[in-house]
Each structure stands twice: as structure tokens, then as C-alpha cells.
């Protein structure tokens, strides 16, 4: 019975491993690209504070934070870590 469970879990290990590597790649690429882009948006938000007022500047500062490495890419890193944890638990079940 335990062998059947291990055989059924093997495709999930393969799929979660591939998904984990894909998410990890996306985190690295998005951190680099979006870090530069968030700096540009931040500078535009500072200009909007003086040109258009408080609320347009604040809204663009929120956008700059979301695309910075501490916004949505950090959420993606958390998700990749969760998938890696599930993958590790399945590997322990199969091979341990």
C-alpha cells in the first residue's frame, strides 16, 4: 500500500519541482527588471507630488512599491518557497 502511495506521489514531485524552478526563475528576473522600473516610477511619483498634488503622487508611490522587489516579487518569492516546501515534503515521503 505504501508503494502505491509513493508511485501516486511521484508525478506531483515532478510537477512541483518544475513549478518551483519556474517560480524561482521568475523571482530572480522580476527582481532585477522591476527594481529598475520601480526606481523610474518613484522618480515620476516625486514629480507628480509637486505637479499634480498629493493623491496622484501617493497613488504612483503605491504602484512603485508594488513593482519594487519588496512588493509583488516578494509575494512571488513566498509562493515559490511554499511550493518548494511542499515539494520537499513529497520527496521525503517518497524517498525517506
pLDDT exceeds cutoff 90 at 43:
yes
Into how many domains does the chain fold?
Answer: 1
Query: Considering the domain boundaries, does residue 85 fall inside one?
Result: yes
CA distances from 54 to 58, 62, 71 (A): 6, 12, 22
Per the structure, the complete domain to which residue 69 belongs is given by 26-95
pLDDT (tens digit, 9 = 90+) per residue, 49-81? Answer: 889 889 998 999 999 988 887 887 788 778 878
Query: Considering the domain boundaries, does residue 16 fall inside one?
Result: no
Which pLDDT does position 24 carry in this prediction?
80
- Rounded to an integer, the average pLDDT of 11-28 is 84
Supply the mean pLDDT for the chain: 84
Q: Which residues contact 9 (CB under 8 A, 6 or more apart)?
A: 90, 93, 94
pTM over 0.75: no
Query: Considering the domain boundaries, does residue 91 fall inside one?
Result: yes
pLDDT exceeds cutoff 90 at 35:
no
CB 36 within 8 Å of CB 69: no
Query: Considering the domain boundaries, does residue 81 fall inside one?
Result: yes
pLDDT exceeds cutoff 80 at 96:
no
Query: Considering the domain boundaries, does residue 47 fall inside one?
Result: yes
Tell me how far apart the alpha carbons of residues 56 and 25 are, in angstroms, rounded to a whole number: 33
Amino acid at each position: 500500500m505504501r508503494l502505491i502511495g509513493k508511485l501516486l506521489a511521484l508525478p506531483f514531485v515532478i510537477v512541483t519541482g518544475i513549478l518551483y524552478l519556474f517560480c524561482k526563475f521568475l523571482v530572480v528576473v522580476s527582481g532585477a527588471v522591476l527594481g529598475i522600473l520601480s526606481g523610474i516610477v518613484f522618480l515620476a511619483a516625486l514629480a507628480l507630488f509637486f505637479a499634480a498634488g498629493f493623491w496622484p503622487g501617493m497613488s504612483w508611490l503605491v504602484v512603485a512599491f508594488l513593482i519594487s522587489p519588496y512588493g509583488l516579487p516578494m509575494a512571488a518569492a513566498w509562493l515559490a518557497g511554499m511550493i518548494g516546501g511542499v515539494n520537499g515534503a513529497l520527496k521525503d515521503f517518497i524517498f525517506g
